[in-house]
Structure formats: structure tokens, C-alpha cells
Structure 1
Amino acid sequence: MSSRSSSSPSRLQTKIRCATVTKNCSQVHLSDLLTGYDSMDILQWEDDDQALKNAAAQSRLPYDKVTTQEFACFPELHDSEATINLFLYIRNKILQLWHLESHIELTVEDVYEQLAPPYNSDSQFVRRIFAFLKRYGFINFGRFTRVKAPTERVKKRVIVIGAGAAGLAAARQLQYFGIEVLVLEARQRLGGRIFTYRKPPNIIVDQGAMIVMGSLGNPMITLAKQITTSFSIVEGNDCPIYDPCGRMIERRKDRLIERAFHRIEETALYISHTKNITKVSGHNLSLAEAYDVILNCRQLEHRQQKRREDFLEKFKGVLQDIKNLQDSMVMIKKTLKALHAKLEELQAEDRKGKSNDEKEKALRTIKIRCIMKDIRDSVKTYEEVDERRKEFEAALLELRKNEPSDVFMHDCDLHIMDFHFANLEYSMGTTLNNCSLKYYNQDDENELQGSHLSVKEGYGSLIEPLAENLPVHLGCIVESIKSTENGVEVRYSMKGVTDTVFADVCLCTVPLGVLKRSVAGESDAPQFDPPLPEEKQEAIKTLGFGNLNKVILVFDKVFWDSHHQLFGHVCDGNNSTRGEFYLFYAVHECPILIGMLAGAAADLSERLPSEMLVRQAMHILTNIFGSACPQEPVQSIVTKWKSDPYARGCYSYISPNGSGELYDLLAMPVKSASGKFRIFFAGEHTNRQFPSSVHGAFLSGLREAGRIADQLIGCPYSPFVPEIITLDDE
């Protein structure tokens, strides 16, 4: 009997055991890392809605809804709301029990004991729900301790090609189901695009995948609990950016430009999703084309800067003219006031007749006339000046009406904008002109929530243990996959010797980049006999496969600001160079920096000598940190994933002519002439919900293991009596 199937005292033991796992799992408690895991107690609140909601979320299932797959496997759910509610409670309860102790096999007997009446009244219904969750990898996956002794294996065999996350996940599940598996891996190591480099005493660095992308619902978190692996949170919010001269860019300016970048993103989404403008003259728009149009509109503002400077000069000139005229009018008023005073004085003297001297009277009359003339002239001048003032004020008003926008970007601002474009190209795995405007982010709604984490022991520490007790043959380069009426024949070479193995079905988990070479007829990739269906070949050709490279620099000690795990660098170049060392990642608690090469720079780096790339990275670091930066690293590693014959790149993306349906087409198994599925496919490029990720690859392996098992040994969750007695039947 499992330790699951017990009551309160055992729950306390479970709590202690989970706390121990959590403590081992990270310097920062795993409960602090996981959104939804405020504490492990949340999963222990018996029959509490929050505990069940959390369990469903950790399994990527809606707590209060039945999925399409569940409706297909349980047709009776269409009959009544009561049946749906019963199903959801039992399903969520089973998930809760699994997540409480995911390092120990959950049995259907455990579930019976934990289900309170009346939920346990229909034992067959409970068994079917349990079998469904087990078959499709929602429970009992990864590296857990078996409670039930394995029953005798069925006489079915599966060849798994590839020992990466997808291949090992599938092989382990199939073996658990009692099916014989054989894993063929071309490399002399496990992991595929997960490649952890280790060198004693403390150098651990990932050359491939290195980030656990989201913690809520991520099966990597379950693996970490099973294997007691350490995590650290990737703090990306505070990422300083340095200009080409090594000066830190003012944070305020960086934020302004980042906001402008997000406005461009939002505008592109509005154009493609709200207005549904995705084509021009029958041509599917790429992300770059849309961004260029939007950015060019903003660059028009940049070109208006000269106009604005001219405007300001004119504006200042008109203001000065108005001021001068107003000053003149003030002076004229003062003059008029003085003239009026003098005139009144002379006129008063004339009226009083102070002097009868005719000569003096004539002189006074002349003075009065002169003053009156001066007054008339001054009034005329005042009116003329006032008219000019009105004209200038009208001109000022017109200038204000035509005032150029005060929003613009200098060249240096555009280079900072390029940093954000490079970061988007990093997430896409390719240049923006290769990405579909409409579908590039089709999986965003499925993005896992919670912290992004790095694995202290390296990502390989999560995946490599899955190969324990599996028959994995390294160094086996598959040359051909042939489907027949009775099964499959896989020919491979090992150390120059060719051999052929036979099985009922084959699971192909080679990367999309290798499949592209296969359908192109390249001799360095596995060939399918007969060729894959035309629709599948077109999907392979159309779905994009990108590239991303790293320059890993090992030092004696940390010379950068250890408070920042990431810092950016702005390239003084163009679109093709903006991804050159645009970002440096500091490995947690190690004197190691990883320089990222994204977009066009990733492809360019494949053709450059590694020494040149290291020198370039060191030059940038010297500009930033000055004399604190050593002349050269203790050790360096340069990746070239596109040149890797067993990868041919990093991960998939949707090209302008593609859509999310391509992932579904690539996931579809291929039938033989007999009508039975013989060749199955897994990998991140077959997971529409979670593409371009390790967890997506892993989940695709669980998916195909379930699909293969359904075909080979029957469906234990079926409402009908299965044709084949399954391992769980008693």
C-alpha cells in the first residue's frame, strides 16, 4: 500500500516530506517560486475548492470545464451537468493527490481511499478517469518511485529516435505502460538541445536551453521535485543597458523607448487582429514589414525635428518682434504723454496771455503746432506698430496651428529601440522578417504563469535522470525509417557499422531542422520510406526553424555588478547586427557570463571563427567595465547550433505563410499501407500550445506515449470493454 492511501497521520508525513523536497529544491523555497503554490499546504486542504483549483492549474487543465479531449474520451459527459460535475471533482481530486507526492506512484487504490462518498460510489468511472490521466501523462510521469510491481510486459515494441526531452519523456512512459522501448540517439550524450557543460569544481553552464519558462503548470517543476534540483529566479525586470561606448543608458530614456516599442507591438496587433490586415497584394505580411511601417511613421517625426527646430527659431523670432513692437508702443505712449503735457502747458500759457509780445506769441504758436504734429506722427506710428503687432500675433497663431510633433527619435534612440527588437528576435529564434505578423504569437494565451527559473545544476540535471533504466543507445545515427504492413524498420549506423532494428511503431523526435533536411533529400538526415505524405512535407517546409547562439565566458571572479543577472548592450549598426551580444546573462553564483547572439547575428556567428567572437565579446565588456574586466577569459565556449548536424538550429517559429495548424500537422502520425499508424512524431515543433520550449517538447512526448499505447495495448479509459486487457486490469 502506498503512503498516499492513508489518513491524517500520513498527511503530516507527506507535509514533512514535501517540505524537505521544497527545501532541497532551491535556495529560494520552491513555494516562493511558484505562482499558485503559496505553500504546499494549499494542496492539502481536503475537498477545498482552492486546493482542487490549484491542482488543475498545475496540470494545465481548467478547474471547472471539460476539455475537448476529455469529452472525446468520456462521451457520457454530454448527457448531464451532474455527470460533468462528478467527473470534474474526481479528476481534480486525483490531480491533487498526484501533486502532493509526485515522487511516488499514485495508484487507483489510493484514489478510492481518498474519495469520500458519494464520489467513490462508481468505481468503474473512477478507474476510467484515473486511467485517462495516467495514460496521457497528467499523473505518474517523470522519475517517480513505483509502488506496484511491473506486470509482465506486452509483446509490443517501440523505437524512439532521439534522447532529448520529448524522446526520454515518451520512452519512460511507454516503459511504465509495459511496452518494450529502444531509444536511438545520434549523439554521444543525452539531452539533445539541452546540453549542460560541467567542469569541476564549480563550472556548470547550459549551452542550449537554460530557462524554465513559467512555474505554474510546468512539468519541469514536477521533475525538479522528483530529482531535488535547485532553482534560482531569473530577475529580468532590472536590466541596465549600455550604449556602444559602454555608458549606461539613462533609465528614464530606456523606459520611454521601451514604452514606444510596446506601442509598436500593440499597433501591429491592432492591425493584424482587430483590423485583420495581414496581406498586401496577396503577400502575407511579416512582423518586420509591419514594424517597419509603424516605425517609419515615427521616423517621419524624427525627420520633422529639423522642421521643429526651424519652427522654434521662427517662433522665437516672432515673439521677439512682438516684444520689440510692444516696447516701441510703450515708448510711443510715454512720448505722447509727454507731448500732451507740454501741449497743455503751452495752451494754458496762451489762454492766460502771460505775454503780449507778438514775437513770443508767434513762437508759442509754432511750438504748439510742432507738438501737435509730433502727436499726430506718434499716433500714426503707434497705429502702424500696433498693426504690425497684430500681424505678428496672427503669424504666431498660425505657427502654433502648424507646430510639428514634439515626439521623435534620434539615431541613438533608434539603436536603443533595436535592443528591444533584438530581444524579440531572441524569443522568436529568428529575424522578424521571417515571422508571421498574424500568427507569430499564436501561443501567447497558453504561456505558463509564474517565475522564470534557471537550474543551478544545469538543465540537463532535469532531463538526464529520465534515461535511468532505459535502453538508450548513444552514437546511433538513423539513416532510414521504413513503415511496413507489420511494423517499422529503422536502419542506423554506429561507428561505421550499419544495422537494422524492427518494432511495431516508431516515434521520431528529431528536431524540425533535421526533418527539413530529410524532406529536402539530404543524405545527412533520416529518410522516410515511403516518403512522408505531401501535406506533412509541406508543413515541415513551411514552419520556420530558427537559430540562437551563445558565447560563454568563464572568469576567475565576478567583475560585473552581481545585483544584475542580465545587462544589455546596444549595437551601433543595423538590423543585421543588432543581435550581436545584445544581452549578457550572468550565471547564478558563478563567474560566468553568457553573451547572446540573436537574429541575423546568430547566423553570421556560424561563419566566424570562435576566437573572433570571443574577442568581440571581451571588447564590449572592456568598454563597459574598463580595467575591472580581464584581458581574456579563463575559458570560452562558442555554440553553433545551426551547424550542428543533429539540431540544425534552436526552435520553431511561424513563418509569414504559416499558421498554428502547422504544429498540428507535424504532430499527426503517419499510416502504413495497412491503415495503421506506424510513425509518430514528438518535439517542440509538434506542440501548438507550447512550442519552442522544453516543457512543450516534454509534454509532446507524454502525448505521443499515450497515443501509441492506445493503439498498441488498448484504451483503459474507454466506456467499452477493451479488446486488449491492459496492465491495470485485474
Structure 2
Amino acid sequence: MIGRRSVMGLLAMLPFGKMAKAAGGGRIAVIGAGMAGLAAARALRDAGADVTIYEARDRIGGRVWTKRSWPGLPVDLGASWIHGLKQNPITALAAEAGAPLHPTDYESAAAFGAGRERPYPAEPWDMLEAAQKRAGKADADMSLRAAVEALPRWTKMSLPDRNAFRAAVHRMVEHEYGADWGDLSAWFFDEAEAFGGGDALFPHGYDQVASHAAQGLDIRLGTKVRAVTATRDGIRLTFADGSEATADALVCTLPLGVLQSGDVTFDPPLAPERQAAIDSLGMGLLNKCWLRFDAPPPVPAADWILNLGPPADLWPEWVNPSAAKPAPLLLAFNAGPRADEVEAWDDSTTLASAQDALRGMFGSAFPAPIAAQVTRWRADPLAYGSYSYHSVGTGADTRRALAGLDWDGRLAFAGEAASPDHPSTVHGAWLSGLAAAQALTE
């Protein structure tokens, strides 16, 4: 293997920029067949490059993952929604794929607790906005929790009011970003652009979009990359089985959690600002528990059902697929530290806990589920989490430092964590893949 100092010398001498941008006829490798990798590969292929995708899993899609083990009942274990239907590239892909959509509405909601329907709880946005505004005047970023607890209003709140506010933050913030409010940046936790037009689910599975996007691409499944090395002629990939492949340039779409783990090495090291971005962003966790029943469960015809407890921080949010069409399914979530805790349970314990929550919400007569499908994204060695978030001290500029080109234009980065405008979303991953392809070809 070429030594690190020797490679650094090569990087200084070789005309990487010109070689990488000559996509026509060039050999481009893409690590990852998730939505970012598929987008980059399609764009590079259309620009005339010879593109190969190397995917460690035995399927495409990455964190878009539809499970079809229940006949006639596909369930999305990864991404579920198109967030913002208007001008969203995933909406256009869904139309091309002929994938039906079911719009959902956050206003279509009901709240239950202690065996009965209860008034919908107050939302925390006014107080969070005040905390952000106050924190914005500080010299340094702080956690969202610290910003809230510094408010005079917080010190005057009764313990029950604090608990109610904390429960609302858990449901509406920690579940959105997959992280504890003590880890989220007060300045930038919600920094993202949004498309209009509401949200929508895929009744027949999100994988329809990934399958459509993958058509005609050269995808090598089961090829886990262990090392990426700059060589005199381009880039060498070393796989877990010891085999190798070479290319003129590379698009890396590894999830943030994998980049942070060090499971894939880069020689020479990445640019300091890129490595700092990788180290400082947070990798959040949102896990799902799909429950299957003998018949559509007796719940209100609402998209969202809130569990007001007690306890309110375990299984606090449920999605009702029957709001679109009768289905014997319910979907529950756990996020942040709660998700880390539940992830350590086995399936039977998780199912029993979810069933207890439903009977606490609706009463002891609520029917028992007959099966469950549970995710454990933190334990997944090809993800190590669900999606990225802005930890204290990070923001859109951190993501810009992660995105783009390294190794003098030979190595490009993409993925939801590398999207400064649309982080933590499927469309953000897709757009980042297109941006990486453009950077290599323009």
C-alpha cells in the first residue's frame, strides 16, 4: 500500500480536478445505493460516465426500506413520508414510478390517555421560539433544553406544567429530529427549508421510488467497502472480502453514523473541515414498531393518535394507516434516548410494551396484536442511526463542509447529512446526490 506521505505527494502533483470533471467516458464509483447514491449515479450516467454503485446491503434503498413479509401489507421500516409535495423531486419520482400516495395531515389527530379521549394538548412552539430568540443573543450556541430552562417563564412554571411542556417537546421536537433536546442546537435545530403542499405516505411502499430510480444502473449488492485510497491512476476501493475495484472518481454516500464509526478508512485523510463536520454533527434515532391485528383496530379515523400516558414518553405517537383505507395495522414510534432504551429489548418485550400502551390509551378491551415488526437502526452497522441532526455548535455551514469535493476534486460526498437546505429527508439525500454529480462534471 502507498504510504500516507507518498499519497499526499501524489495529490499535490496529479491534475485531479481536470480528471474528475471529465465525466464523459470516465469511470465513477458510487458507495451506497440509497437515494443519494441512486441520484448521483443516474446523473453521472446521463453525463456519459461509466458508473458502478457498490452497496453493502443485499437490497437497494438504504434507509428507504419496505418490508413485504406480511402478504398484502407492505410496511416501511425506514423513510415513510414525502415531506412537502409541491416541487419536491420525490413527488416527481413517485409519479414516474406510478406509486400511489396517501396525503396525511397533522391536523387529523386525536389524543388518548388513561383509557379515554382527552383534549389535544397545547403545542410548545411559542416558548421554543422565545428560547431560540433569547439564545440567539448569546455569544455561543447552547442546547435547546438550556435555552428553555433559562427563560424566566420556565422558572415560574409549576411542575405539572413543566411536565406537560416536556412531553410536548418529546412528541413534536425529539421525534422530529431523533435526539434529546439537551443535544439539539438551540440556534439551528430546526434550520431547514421546506417544500409546500403537505405530506404523503406510500400505501404500497416507498421502495417503489427506489426501484424506479435504480432502473438501468450497474449496482453490485453485498459489496461492503472497508477502505478508500487515492492512487496514481485514481481511487481504489477495498472491500470486506479483500477484493478491490478502481475508478477515476468516487461519490461517497455513506450515512453519517458510518462515517463517524471509522468502519471505512480514507487514505489520505479527509480535509480537516470535512472531518470536523463528520465528528460534530449528531446521528439521531427514530425507531418504528409496526403492529398487525386480525382486523382494522378500533381507533378514530385520524392520521395521528397521541398517547398522553402515563407514561407519555414511551410510544407517544401513533400513525393510523386505516385513515386512508381499512388495514389491520398501527405504527408507533420511539425517538432519542427512549429509542436507544427500547432498541435493547427483544421483539416480544417491545410488542408487549406497545400493547400495554394501547390498552392504557383505549382501555383493557383493546385487541391484542398478532405480530410486530420492529426496527433497530442504531444497531445497524450500515447506518448506526436513523438520520442526522444539528447538535450544539453545528448548522447548515457544517453540512456544507461535509458536502462537496475532497482530494482535489476526485472524491465527492453526498447524503442527507450533507444537505444544508433539506437535511434528514429523502429529498435532501436525492438533491445532495445530484449536487455531487454536478460537482464532478461541471
Check the 8 A contact 2:116/2:363 in 1, yes or no.
no
- 5 Å-filtered alignment, 1:516-527, equals 516-518=260-262, 525-527=263-265
After TM superposition, give the deviation of residue 606 of structure 1 in Å: 2.0
Structure 1 alignment gaps of length 5 or more: 1-152, 303-409, 519-524, 711-730
Check the 8 A contact 2:85/2:91 in 1, yes or no.
yes
1:421 paired with 2:165, answer no
Task: Name the counterpart of 2:295.
Answer: 557
> In structure 1, the residue corresponding to 2:68 is in which secondary structure?
strand
Check the 8 A contact 2:253/2:415 in 1, yes or no.
yes
Work out the CA distance in 1 between the residues paired with 2:273 and 2:105: 43
Task: Name the counterpart of 1:393.
Answer: none
Check the 8 A contact 1:481/1:529 in 2, yes or no.
yes
Deviation string, structure 1 residues 21-78 (Cα, Å, up to 9, x no partner): xxxxxxxxxxxxxxxxxxxxxxxxxxxxxxxxxxxxxxxxxxxxxxxxxxxxxxxxxx
Work out the CA distance in 2 between the residues paired with 1:534 and 1:301: 45
Check the 8 A contact 1:652/1:692 in 2, yes or no.
yes
> In structure 1, the residue corresponding to 2:331 is in which secondary structure?
strand
After TM superposition, give the deviation of residue 428 of structure 1 in Å: 1.4
Relative to structure 1, is the Cα distance of residues 503 and 207 closer, same or farther in structure 2, using a 3 angstrom cutoff? Answer: same
Relative to structure 1, is the Cα distance of residues 235 and 290 closer, same or farther in structure 2, using a 3 angstrom cutoff? Answer: same
Query: What TM-score do you get using the length of structure 1 for normalisation?
Result: 0.55
Residue type at the aligned position of 1:594? L
Of 116, 119, 122 in structure 2, the residue corresponding to residue 250 of structure 1 is 119
> In structure 2, the residue corresponding to 1:171 is in which secondary structure?
helix
Deviation string, structure 1 residues 185-218 (Cα, Å, up to 9, x no partner): 0001111011111145421111011010001120
Work out the CA distance in 2 between the residues paired with 1:240 and 1:562: 7
After TM superposition, give the deviation of residue 157 of structure 1 in Å: 0.4
Task: Name the counterpart of 2:34.
Answer: 164
Identity among equivalent positions (%) equals 31
Work out the CA distance in 2 between the residues paired with 1:193 and 1:552: 16
1:264 paired with 2:127, answer yes
1:506 paired with 2:363, answer no
1:488 paired with 2:235, answer yes
> In structure 2, the residue corresponding to 1:486 is in which secondary structure?
coil
Relative to structure 1, is the Cα distance of residues 682 and 478 closer, same or farther in structure 2, using a 3 angstrom cutoff? Answer: same
> In structure 1, the residue corresponding to 2:401 is in which secondary structure?
helix
Work out the CA distance in 1 between the residues paired with 2:430 and 2:243: 29
Deviation string, structure 1 residues 579-623 (Cα, Å, up to 9, x no partner): 420101112422111111012101111222222111011011122
- 5 Å-filtered alignment, 1:518-557, equals 518=262, 525-557=263-295
Deviation string, structure 1 residues 626-647 (Cα, Å, up to 9, x no partner): 355223x222111110110001
After TM superposition, give the deviation of residue 554 of structure 1 in Å: 0.9
Task: Name the counterpart of 2:18.
Answer: none
Check the 8 A contact 1:559/1:628 in 2, yes or no.
no
Task: Name the counterpart of 2:349.
Answer: 612
1:692 paired with 2:424, answer yes
Task: Name the counterpart of 1:135.
Answer: none
- 5 Å-filtered alignment, 1:41-52, equals none
1:636 paired with 2:368, answer no
Task: Name the counterpart of 1:205.
Answer: 75
Of 150, 156, 164 in structure 2, the residue corresponding to residue 300 of structure 1 is 156
Residue type at the aligned position of 2:431? L
TM-align CA RMSD: 1.8
Task: Name the counterpart of 1:24.
Answer: none
Check the 8 A contact 1:642/1:649 in 2, yes or no.
yes
After TM superposition, give the deviation of residue 299 of structure 1 in Å: 5.3
> In structure 2, the residue corresponding to 1:646 is in which secondary structure?
coil
Work out the CA distance in 2 between the residues paired with 1:685 and 1:666: 8
Task: Name the counterpart of 1:402.
Answer: none
Work out the CA distance in 2 between the residues paired with 1:168 and 1:696: 13
Check the 8 A contact 2:149/2:155 in 1, yes or no.
no
Check the 8 A contact 1:435/1:655 in 2, yes or no.
yes
Structure 2 alignment gaps of length 5 or more: 1-22
Check the 8 A contact 2:230/2:236 in 1, yes or no.
yes
Work out the CA distance in 2 between the residues paired with 1:285 and 1:529: 34
After TM superposition, give the deviation of residue 485 of structure 1 in Å: 3.4
Check the 8 A contact 1:415/1:571 in 2, yes or no.
no
> In structure 2, the residue corresponding to 1:175 is in which secondary structure?
helix
Work out the CA distance in 1 between the residues paired with 2:203 and 2:306: 22
Work out the CA distance in 2 between the residues paired with 1:658 and 1:266: 18
After TM superposition, give the deviation of residue 529 of structure 1 in Å: 0.9
Work out the CA distance in 1 between the residues paired with 2:166 and 2:336: 11
After TM superposition, give the deviation of residue 235 of structure 1 in Å: 2.1
Task: Name the counterpart of 2:191.
Answer: 442
Relative to structure 1, is the Cα distance of residues 156 and 177 closer, same or farther in structure 2, using a 3 angstrom cutoff? Answer: same
> In structure 1, the residue corresponding to 2:94 is in which secondary structure?
helix
Q: More strand per residue: 1 or 2?
A: 2
Deviation string, structure 1 residues 659-686 (Cα, Å, up to 9, x no partner): 2211011013111xxxx42211000111
> In structure 2, the residue corresponding to 1:643 is in which secondary structure?
coil
Task: Name the counterpart of 2:147.
Answer: 290
Residue type at the aligned position of 1:448? F
Check the 8 A contact 1:215/1:452 in 2, yes or no.
yes
- 5 Å-filtered alignment, 1:87-486, equals 154-199=24-69, 201-243=71-113, 245-251=114-120, 254=121, 257-258=122-123, 261-273=124-136, 276-277=137-138, 279=140, 284-294=141-151, 297-298=153-154, 300-302=156-158, 411=160, 413-422=161-170, 423-443=172-192, 446-486=193-233
Check the 8 A contact 2:319/2:331 in 1, yes or no.
yes
1:650 paired with 2:383, answer no
> In structure 2, the residue corresponding to 1:194 is in which secondary structure?
coil
Task: Name the counterpart of 1:335.
Answer: none
Residue type at the aligned position of 1:667? A
Check the 8 A contact 1:579/1:602 in 2, yes or no.
no
Check the 8 A contact 1:605/1:613 in 2, yes or no.
yes
Work out the CA distance in 2 between the residues paired with 1:459 and 1:579: 28
After TM superposition, give the deviation of residue 426 of structure 1 in Å: 1.0
> In structure 2, the residue corresponding to 1:669 is in which secondary structure?
strand
Work out the CA distance in 1 between the residues paired with 2:126 and 2:24: 58
Check the 8 A contact 2:297/2:329 in 1, yes or no.
no
Larger Rg: 1
After TM superposition, give the deviation of residue 570 of structure 1 in Å: 2.2
Check the 8 A contact 2:27/2:50 in 1, yes or no.
yes
Work out the CA distance in 1 between the residues paired with 2:307 and 2:138: 34
Work out the CA distance in 1 between the residues paired with 2:112 and 2:76: 25
